[in-house]
Amino acid sequence: MQTDDNMHKLKKKLNSQRIDLVAVSKGRPVEQIREAYDADQRDFGENRVQELVEKYELLPKDIRWHMIGHLQKNKVRYIVPFVAMIQSVDSLELLEKINADAQKNNRVIDCLLQIKIAREETKYGMEFEEAKKILESLKSEQNDIQPLQNICIRGLMGMASNTPDQEQIRREFRSLKNFYDEIKLKYFTQHTHCNILSMGMSGDWRIAVEEGSTLVRLGRAIFEADV
Ligand SMILES: *Cc1c(COP(=O)(O)O)cnc(C)c1O
C-alpha cells in the first residue's frame, strides 16, 4: 500500500496548485504501476522504448504514456501508435521523424522540447539557442508554429543538476521558466496550446513548483518508501 499512500498524498498537494503529475515508472514492476493506477493515476513516464512498449501491452489502455528519455529516430515508430506525449525531443530531425511516423498512424503527437539547463555533461537536451532555431524554422507566415501537421509542441522539459546546492537548482529552473515565457510570447501568440513546463523530479519538485513548473515527473517519491 506504500505506492497508494504516496500517490494520494502527492496528488492532494499537487492538485491544490493545479500541477500535473507524471508517475515515472521506469524500472518498476507492472504490479506496482497497477497499484498507482488503482489510486487513479493515469499519466506514466518511461525512458526506454522497449520497456515502454512492453508495459503498454500489459497495462490498461487508458493510461497516458509519456516518453521522457533519449529517443533514437529509428525507434520512434514503435511508440508513435500509442504514446501520449514525447517530452524528450532534442533535435529538429527527431521532431520531423515523429511527425512522419505520426502521419502514417493518423495521429497528432504532443511534444515537449527538452532543454539542457544542468551543468553536467550527462544530461540530454538542447541549448536555448538550438530550441529557438527550431521554433524559428517552424514559424509560418502567420508568425506562428504550424507546418508539421502531426506534432503539437506543447512546451518545454528540463532537468536540473543533481547537486545539493538548492540555489543552483533554483537558478536552473528559473532560467527555463524565463525561456518558456519568452517563446510563448514570441512563437505561440495565436495558439494557447503551448502550456506545459515540465520540470521537477523527486528530489527537487518543490523548488520546481515554486519556480513555475506546470508538470512534475516523480518516480522515487511515488514508488519508494521514504523520499
Ligand atoms: C527518472 C526520471 C525522473 C524521475 O526521477 P525520480 O528521482 O525517481 O523522481 C524524472 N524525469 C526523468 C527524465 C527521468 O529520467
178-191 average pLDDT score: 90
**CA nearest neighbour of 187 among 156, 225, 150:** 156
Closest ligand 1 atom, residue 217 Cα:
10
Measured CA to CA in angstroms, residue 117 lies from 89, 160, 214 at distances of: 14, 6, 17
User: Which grid coordinates are listed for 83?
Assistant: 504514446
The whole-model pTM stands at: 0.95
Whether ligand 1 lies within 6 angstroms of the CB of 6 is answered as no
Going by alpha carbons, the residue nearest to atom 13 of ligand 1 is: 68
Minimum-distance ligand 1 atom for the alpha carbon of 68 = 13
Give residue 127's pLDDT. 96
Give percent above pLDDT 90 in the chain: 80
Other C-beta atoms within 10 Å of 202: how many?
17
Per-residue pLDDT tens for 27-44? 999 999 999 999 999 999
Nearest ligand 1 atom to the CA of 223 is 8
Grid cell 507524471 is found at 22
The whole-number pLDDT of residue 117 equals 95
Place of cell 499512500: 5
**For 11-20, what is each residue's pLDDT tens digit?**
888 989 999 9
In angstroms, what is the span from residue 47 Cα to ligand 1's centroid?
9
Name the pLDDT band for 141 (thresholds 50, 70, 90): low
pLDDT tens-place string over residues 43-69:
999 999 999 999 999 999 999 999 999
CA of 125 to the centre of ligand 1 (A): 15
The full DSSP string for the chain is -HHHHHHHHHHHHHHHTT-EEEEE-TT--HHHHHHHHHTT--EEEES-HHHHHHHHHHS-TT-EEEE-S---GGGHHHHTTT-SEEEEE--HHHHHHHHHHHHHTT--EEEEEEEE-SSSTT---B-HHHHHHHHHHHB-TTSSB-S-TTEEEEEEEEE--S-S-HHHHHHHHHHHHHHHHHHHHHH-SS-----EEEE--TTTHHHHHHTT-SEEEESHHHHSS--
Expressed in angstroms and rounded, the spacing between residue 220 Cα and the centre of ligand 1 is 8
Examine the pLDDT at 116 and tell me if it is beyond 70: yes
Q: Ligand 1: distance of its center to the CA of 165 in Å?
A: 18
Tell me if 163 CB under 6 Å of ligand 1.
Answer: no
Q: How far is the CA of 217 from the centre of ligand 1 (A)?
A: 6
